[in-house]
Chain A
Amino acid sequence: MMKKGEYSLSQQNNRREFCQGFKDGIPIGLGYFAVSFSLGILAKKAGLNPFQSFLASLLCNASAGEYAAFSLIMVQASYLEVAIITLIANARYLLMSCALSQKFKQGTSLVHRMIVGYDVTDEIFAISVSRDCFLNPNYTYGAIAIAAPCWATGTALGCLAGNVLPLRLVSALSVALYGMFLAIIIPPARKSKVVAGIIVICFVLSYLASILPVVSDISSGTRTIILTVGISAVAAWLFPRENQEVSDES
């Protein structure tokens, strides 16, 4: 059983964990800053002001999720559509949180679980889940303390400077986000032929859906939802995962 206040920052070992997390979070924060800048450019196109884009990033901490939601906000989609696309685009965090829940020492308080849950991203998840033994939440807090402000500030600056920068530079920066998506999906594709094949099929179907008559009239957000659920379901049916461990994936 856990002693009360085991993870209190008044203890030296917890402060050490926090500092280690902060240190590991610095490269993550730098990457976030660059990527969120291009997210801010999109936020501006969607009609958000710098403060609103700062707020959205501070509260959501989700690249693909925010990207998808901003794209829908741009076309004044319904609140329900935004909720669904946020759910779909962030579905992987559900899986990561399931894996991360196994890393907590039995009896870790609800408060710690709720604070860690604030910033389960691909990168924070990756460094948290790869800690030896149980996760000391202070480690994750340290990483969040540097990464989350970088993410939010980058978005606000992108929104602010998007129209100050020359068009060519904006054009170049707007692919940063896609670069980040590629950095997430390609390494697993290298390890798994199934994932690689699925990604190719996604590219083809997504392209076809954007040019075929009737289908291309459906909004791009809805197309993303339909393609995601359809392709993932078929993939899960044809290629069920044997491995029950999720903690080493993504």
Chain B
Amino acid sequence: MNHNIYIYILIMAGVSYAIRVLPLTLIRKQIKNQFVQSFLYYVPYVTLAVMTFPAITEATQSPIAGGVALVVGIIAAWFGASLFQVAVSCCGVVFLLELFL
């Protein structure tokens, strides 16, 4: 079955907006349940980490370049590079390595 791209976009937009606007408009107090709060705290890190590896090694033409970009990105972020700087360093590393690999 073929799905309609515009319906996909509508679903993405609806969910993305609801997640943000519901707490802003409805919740006036902080969440008290410790488990829920902890769960929500860990979710972003877990989901981003899971999506980063091993996918980063599959995104590049050479898996080695992707792997090195991962290491460079971690080091750059660890030492406080901004979002933009980390992203650019990862790109730069892949570009340079793939000249040789």
Contact = CB atoms under 8 A, between A and B. Distances in A.
B52 A241 contact: no
A240 B32 CA distance: 12
A175 B59 contact: yes
Contact of A97 (B20, B45, B48): B20
Contacts of A91: 19, 40, 43-44, 47
Contact of B86 (A104, A183, A220): A183
A31 B87 contact: yes
B54 A198 contact: no
B70 A182 contact: yes
A235 B42 contact: yes
Number of contact residues on A: which range applies? 35 or more
A149 interface: no
Given A83-B11, A180-B87, A95 B40 contact: yes
Contact of B24 (A60, A100, A187, A250): A100
A52 B9 contact: yes
Interface of B is mostly: helix
A202 B46 CA distance: 6
A123 interface: yes
Given A55-B9, A199-B49, A114 B25 contact: yes
A50 to B, nearest CB: 12
A184 interface: yes
Contacts of B47: 64, 88-89, 91-92, 224, 228, 232
Contacts, number: 301
A168 interface: yes
Given A62-B16, A203-B53, A232-B42, A56 B84 contact: no
A220 B61 CA distance: 19
B66 to A, nearest CB: 6
Interface string B1-42: 111011111011101110111111101101110111111111
Contact of A183 (B3, B9, B83): B83
Contact of A199 (B13, B40, B45, B60): B45
Contacts of A198: 42, 45-46, 49
A143 interface: no
B72 to A, nearest CB: 9
Nearest to B89: A179
Nearest to B25: A113
Nearest to B39: A236
Given A195-B42, A223-B50, 17 more contacts: A60-B9, A67-B51, A91-B43, A94-B20, A94-B23, A97-B21, A97-B23, A113-B24, A114-B25, A120-B20, A182-B52, A182-B90, A199-B49, A202-B49, A228-B43, A232-B43, A235-B38
25 contacts: A34-B87, A47-B5, A48-B5, A59-B9, A86-B16, A90-B16, A90-B19, A93-B19, A94-B20, A113-B25, A118-B21, A168-B95, A168-B99, A174-B60, A178-B69, A178-B73, A179-B86, A179-B89, A180-B83, A181-B48, A181-B49, A183-B77, A184-B44, A228-B50, A231-B46
